[in-house]
Amino acid sequence: MDTLSVTPTRIDSDDTYYQCWFPVCLASEVGADTLAGVDMLGTRVIVYRDASGKAVVQSAWCPHLGADLSKGTRVEGQVRCPYHHWRFDSAGACSHIPTGDRIPAAARIFTYPSAEAWGLIWLFNGTTAAFDVPRIPGAVEAELACEAHLRGIRTSPGEVALSNGADFQHLRTLHGLQTTSPEEIAVRDHEIEFRVQGVGYTQHGVISGVSTFAQHLTPGGSELFMLFCGAPIDRGHRRMFFTVGVPRTGDAPADRLALDNLRGFVERLISEDEPVLESMRFRRGTLVASDRHLASYFRYVSDFPRAVPPGV
Ligand code: FES
Ligand SMILES: [Fe+2]
């Protein structure tokens, strides 16, 4: 009888994710009465707005028996579990148990550091935010006409897709843009920043954490702002968003046209990247001198802190 040699499958037991800001959902999806559930970071979170309108992001799992709180109801500003109607406030404390039992100290849900920026709601993967929510270089949100979009769910690893931001060669080869590479890029603990002064344009880019690339482009003197970001749903999937922005001029139809044009440009870039990113078997292979910024990016990513999401 033939014997079959089986190589054991490697079980990936690492349930950590980068300790940075991740986009949860479009801000426009969360109204005053919304109670939404979002799968991300290998777990599930709930998103809603408190009485002041601030976005709250918390673990979706009820500490009683583990019911999904996104299936519950908003009652007097609190979240009521669908199962036995325990209620939780925006700080995560259990405030009410209908039976009148004493509320156990452990009856809490984790509340993530959260923020709203660039048309998106964000959470920080940690108990406190170690740095600011991602920025678009040169942009003040209140001065922009800006619009966020869900691009969809993709399978390529986020750190590979994000490497686009430090891959200056591919702008010419894949996208056909007449751009140049920066001499230097500034690699800091939580972000990478660079500036390019090209012929007839400037490019100012920032990679934030391991989730977001944003840039300010000035082709022909126009001002274009864009942000690309994604959040892991689990090990094999990530949800991808992008935001486009132009300076608000007071002429709404002109701003609309500028935004539509920019969205078309950004969607072209993404649709050129996606077939490559979604089909590649990524490896940090043979790099050449022109890849030096990419090499710095890969070092930055491998040194970046990781953490098990506190609310799992
Ligand atoms: S499972 Fe939530 S109150 Fe019982
Ligand atoms: Fe690209």
pLDDT tens digit sequence for 24-81: 999 999 999 999 999 999 999 999 999 999 999 999 999 999 999 999 999 999 999 9
Q: Are residues 49 and 111 in the same domain?
A: yes
Ligand sitting nearest the alpha carbon of 68: 1
The answer to whether residues 119 and 163 belong to one domain is no
- Is residue 5 scored above 60 in pLDDT? no
Domain assignment of residue 82, yes or no? yes
For the beta carbon of residue 89, count every other beta carbon within 10 angstroms: 19
How far apart CA 77 and CA 282 sit, in angstroms, is: 46
Ligand 1 center from residue 204 Cα (angstroms): 49
Alpha-carbon gap, residue 282 to 92, rounded angstroms: 40
Residue 3 lies in a domain: no
Residue 115: which H helix or E strand, with range? strand 114-117
Of all ligands present, the nearest one to the C-alpha of 96 is 1
Of 94, 124, 154, which closes a domain? 124
pTM of the complete model? 0.94
Report which bound ligand comes closest to the CA of 275. Answer: 2
End-of-domain residue from the set 68, 93, 124: 124
Q: Residue 285: pLDDT above 90?
A: no
Q: Whose CA is nearest to atom 1 of ligand 1?
A: 65
pLDDT score, position 176: 93
Identify whether the C-beta of residue 193 lies closer than 8 Å to the C-beta of residue 182.
Answer: no
Write the pLDDT tens digit of every residue in 174-233.
999 988 999 999 999 999 999 998 888 999 999 999 999 999 999 988 999 999 999 999
Q: Is residue 220 part of a domain?
A: yes
- The total number of residues shown for the chain amounts to 312
* Mutation test residue for ligand 1: of 81, 94, 101, the one with most atoms within 8 Å of CB: 81
- Is 264 in a helix, a strand, or coil? helix
| 291, 179: one domain | yes
| 217 and 157 share one domain | yes
Task: Please give the distance, rounded to the nearest whole angstrom, from the Cα atom of residue 251 to the centre of ligand 1.
Answer: 51
pLDDT of residue 1: 39
Same domain, 255 and 118: no
| 114 lies in the same domain as 147 | no
Q: State the closest ligand 1 atom to the C-alpha of 82, by its place in the atom list counted from 1.
A: 2
- Residue 158: what are its φ and ψ, rounded to 5°? -60, -40
Cα–ligand 2 centroid distance for 270 (angstroms): 6
Shared-domain flag, residues 241 and 160? yes
Residue 4: pLDDT band with limits 50, 70, 90: very low
Q: Which CATH number is 274's domain given?
A: 3.90.380.10
DSSP calls for 53-69: S-EEEEE-B-TTT--BG
Nearest Cα residue to 108 out of 144, 81, 131: 81
Res 280: pLDDT: 93
**Percent of the chain scoring above 70 in pLDDT:** 96
Identify whether 5 is part of a domain: no
Phi-psi region of 66 (alpha: psi -120 to 50; beta: other; left: phi over 0): left
Domain count, the chain: 2
Question: Which pair of tokens denotes residue 224?
Answer: 């274009």
Residue 92 lies in a domain: yes
Q: Alpha-carbon distance 248 to 182, whole Å? A: 29
The residue contributing the CA closest to ligand 1 atom 3 is: 84
The model's pLDDT over 137-188, given as tens digits with 9 standing for 90+, comes to: 999 999 999 999 999 999 999 999 999 999 999 999 999 998 899 999 999 9
Nearest ligand, CA 86: 1
Minimum-distance ligand 1 atom for the alpha carbon of 84? 3
Q: What is the pLDDT of residues 76-126, one digit of tens each?
A: 999 999 999 999 999 999 999 999 999 999 999 999 999 999 999 999 999
Residue type, position 248, single letter: R
Burial (CB count <10 Å: 0-12, 13-18, 19+), residue 198: middle
154 in Cβ contact with 57 (< 8 Å): no
- What distance in Å separates the CA atoms of residue 312 and residue 15, rounded to the nearest whole number? 10
* 25 is a domain residue: yes
85 CA closest ligand 1 atom index = 3
Q: Please give the helix or strand (H or E) that residue 26 lies within, else none.
A: strand 21-26
Same domain assignment for residues 39 and 73: yes
* Substitution candidate for ligand 1 out of 75, 86, 95, 101 with most atoms within 8 A of CB: 86
Q: Is 136 within the bounds of a domain? A: no
Distance between CA atoms of 122 and 102, rounded to whole angstroms?
34
Report residue 17 as tokens.
Answer: 């994710």
CATH number of the domain within which 87 lies: 2.102.10.10
What one-character DSSP code corresponds to residue 1? -
Residue 115 in any domain: the answer is yes
Interval between CA 266 and ligand 2 midpoint (Å): 9
- Ligand 1: lining residues by beta carbon, under 6 Å: 62, 64-65, 67, 81, 83-84, 86
Pocket probe mutation, ligand 1, options 58, 68, 83, 97, max atoms within 8 Å of Cβ: 83
Sheet holding 21-26, edge to edge: 21-26, 120-124, 114-117
Domain end marker among 97, 124, 151: 124
Residue 48's domain spans which residues?
17-124
> Mapping DSSP to helix (H, G, I), strand (E, B) and coil, where does residue 13 land?
coil
